Amino acid sequence: MKLFGSSGIRAVFDRDLVNLAFRVGLVVGRNSGNVVVGTDTRTSSDVMKHAVISGLLAAGAGCSDAGIVPTPTLAFVTREFDAGVMITASHNPPEYNGIKLLNPDGSSFDTIQQAQIEEALLVESSCVAPWEKIKHSRVYDGAIEHHIECILPNFPAGLKFKVVVDAGCGAASEVTPRLLKKLGCEVVDLNCYPSGFFPRGSEPSEANLKDLKKAVKETGAALGVANDGDADRMMAVDDRGRYITGDRLLAVFAGAVGAREVVTTLDASMAVDEMGFRVRRTRIGDTSVSEELRNGGDFGGETSGAWIFPNISLCPDGIYAAAQIVAIASRQGLSGLVDSLPGYPLLRGSVSSDGVAMSRLESELMALEPLSVSNIDGVKLNFKDGWLLVRASGTEPKIRLTAEAKSQARVQQLYDCALRAIRDFAGVKGEAG
């Protein structure tokens, strides 16, 4: 049984997911004495939350309900507990939901902890605590205030900027605007009301941020920031209304925090290696970056918008990242900074598929004569002028492909070859997107 993807448990909401939530609560409650639970804004989050709380209480654990909070906020307050349970499917479409388990240091449960949970779920023990040992759940008030108070001292006050905040109707609808106002910013709200329907799409992708780009230009703001549904991700728009890619944001943040050692995923641009940072690469998924940061590193990030600042937490924090990018913009105009960074043509896409015969695919791709091949996560082929990565998504039934090269013609060639190979050897159900 493999329940955990690259960012926790995620599935389309149905009865099985509710049952699973109860059982996960039971297993976590047996191992942790005191647990805090939070949710994003999804319509099914309350159902899932009560199922998890029932499991925790049935196991005899103490349980505090932090209500609707961003994942990094819950991760932050988890330091007061033995474990945290976040009900979220992050940036997945609104019909999904899921569970992310958190450690007191803010990191997600690592692969060993996930395997222990999966093993315990297989046993299917229906044991519950004796009636006289069962506790009542409590309300945890003020999680958002705690998080804001912890972030504020890291940044200068009086950042008198106009910033457009697009919270995507997710869990950061309240906290990101409130934090930036406390830093002195004039905040223009966009999609800053909680809704489980995510009208602009939950993922802070360029395609979903058209209104943010427009609003930055129309209001003359110094920048725009956007969170995903549970606000562990943050993406930004510069003062010219241009979307800043994740590869560039990775370099911007690493430079701003004076990082010497950066942890990122296999699919991040090779440009970051050329900027003087010592770079350690992991499997895809913020969980892998967070896990690796336990072994050291000043900053970690995934180009999807997950930025980890170990000085505050090992959870990607889209709220702290919003304050950080505003502070950076106070020192230098974002468009000038972004344009000064090295960059190469990079293509990312995905194909809907139930699976792929990765070994056959790798054999086919060897015709491209790579210098080396890595199998840390899917297949990554390295060339003297670029690289190509093909892997099964950890959160959706898709195959993802990424290519980067020093010229546009070469990156297109690598990408097209991978796309042809996937179509030949995988159960493809849809076109690349």
Q: Which residue is nearest to Mg ion (CB)?
A: 90
Span interacting with Mg ion, options 141-149, 203-211, 227-235, 353-361, rule CB under 5 A: 227-235
Span interacting with Mg ion, options 83-91, 123-131, 272-280, 397-405, rule CB under 5 A: 83-91
- ∠ CA 409-410-412, nearest 5°, is 70
Q: Is 374 a catalytic residue?
A: no
Kindly list the distances between the CA atom of residue 346 and the CA atoms of 9, 204, 251, 271, 400, in Å, as whole numbers in the listed order. Answer: 29, 18, 15, 11, 13
Distance CA 101, CA 84 (A): 6
Structure-derived torsion over alpha carbons of residues 317, 320, 321, 324, reported in degrees to the nearest 10: -160
Q: Based on CB atoms, which residue is closest to Mg ion, 166 or 228?
A: 228
Residue 228 CB, nearest distance to Mg ion (Å)?
4
Longest CA–CA separation in the chain, Å: 70
Q: Which of 166, 232, 247, 292 binds Mg ion (CB under 5 A)?
A: 232
DSSP annotation string for 93-141: -TTEEEEEEE-TTSPBP-HHHHHHHHHHHHHT------GGGPPPPEE--
Alpha-helical (H) ranges within 137-209 are 143-151, 175-182
* Under 8 Å between Cβ of 57 and 135: yes
Q: Interface with Mg ion includes 39 (CB under 5 A)?
A: no
Q: Based on CB atoms, which residue is closest to Mg ion, 224 or 229?
A: 229
Residue 91 CB, nearest distance to Mg ion (Å)?
5
Q: Interface with Mg ion includes 228 (CB under 5 A)?
A: yes
Q: Which of 90, 97, 313, 353 binds Mg ion (CB under 5 A)?
A: 90
Q: Interface with Mg ion includes 176 (CB under 5 A)?
A: no
Q: Based on CB atoms, which residue is closest to Mg ion, 302 or 404?
A: 302
Q: Interface with Mg ion includes 203 (CB under 5 A)?
A: no
3-state secondary structure of 320: helix
Q: Based on CB atoms, which residue is closest to Mg ion, 232 or 247?
A: 232
CB contact burial 37-49 (16+ within 10 A = b; e otherwise):
bbbbbbebbebbb
Residue 10 CB, nearest distance to Mg ion (Å)?
10
Q: Which of 40, 166, 203, 230 binds Mg ion (CB under 5 A)?
A: 230
Which residues neighbour 27 within 8 Å (Cβ) at sequence distance 6 or greater? 55, 59, 117, 120, 121
Q: Based on CB atoms, which residue is closest to Mg ion, 232 or 239?
A: 232
Distance CA 315, CA 103 (A): 9
Which amino acid, one-letter code, is at 160? K
Residue 203 CB, nearest distance to Mg ion (Å)?
8
The single residue of 90, 304, 330, 353 carrying the catalytic annotation is 90
- Binding-site size for Mg ion (CB under 5 A) equals 5
Which amino acid, one-letter code, is at 8? G
Residue 84 CB, nearest distance to Mg ion (Å)?
15
Q: Based on CB atoms, which residue is closest to Mg ion, 36 or 306?
A: 306
Binding residues vs Mg ion (CB under 5 A): 90, 228, 230, 232-233
Q: Which residues are catalytic?
A: 90
